[in-house]
Amino acid sequence: MADDEELNLDDNGAGEAPVKKGGSGFLPNLLKWVAIGLAAIILIVVVCVITIKIVNKGSTNDSFNPSSVTEEYTGTREIYDWYKSLGMFQVFTVDDVPATVRVDVYLGYKKDDKECSAEITNRMVEIKQFLRLYFRSKMADELENPANEEKFIVEIKNGINDKVLSGSKIRAVSFNQLDVVKQK
């Protein structure tokens, strides 16, 4: 019977509730969750630091340098061949008292592009006609304003590419001379 006593198979105290100790389980539970939170934060920081070191492995400078980024992405400007044989021409403006415009235009195209050079030569009459009509449609004050020069360059380039040339494209326009002489 000694075995029965050790096992305590009898349910003598079935109606009694277990005895609770007053609040002793709260503090260990709180400490356990604080420790889990701290461990999670430490793990996240370690993963971030390791990831940043892997990403910046080849970099010698840890600080951000904007000039190094722009150097990487700014290429050298393209070098053009220039068609300079259009010659100087003279037109009158659309003003009530017309001003005289003397202009010498250079057309830039891709370096060593023989096709474009040949097409410009073959269409020289059409290009000159386009330029004459373009400058005849402008007013003297508009042509004298230096702020408008970039607009003229874009308009002339797009106009020649769209309306005159068919197989090739010019890439730049430059004015060797652009004089506006008003009548007094």
Low-confidence stretches of the chain (pLDDT beneath 70): 1-24, 58-75
Q: Are 109 and 117 in contact (CB under 8 A)?
A: yes
pLDDT tens string 101-111: 999 999 999 99
Entry pTM:
0.58
Q: Let me know the angle formed at the C-alpha of 153 by 152 and 157, rounded to the nearest 5 degrees.
A: 115
Closest CA to 128 of 82, 168, 160: 160
pLDDT at 67: 56
The answer to whether the Cα torsion of 114, 119, 121, 124 is positive or negative is: negative
Q: Residue 28's pLDDT is what?
A: 85
Q: How far is the C-alpha of 179 from the C-alpha of 146, rounded, in Å? A: 11
Q: Which residues share a beta bridge with 179?
A: 102
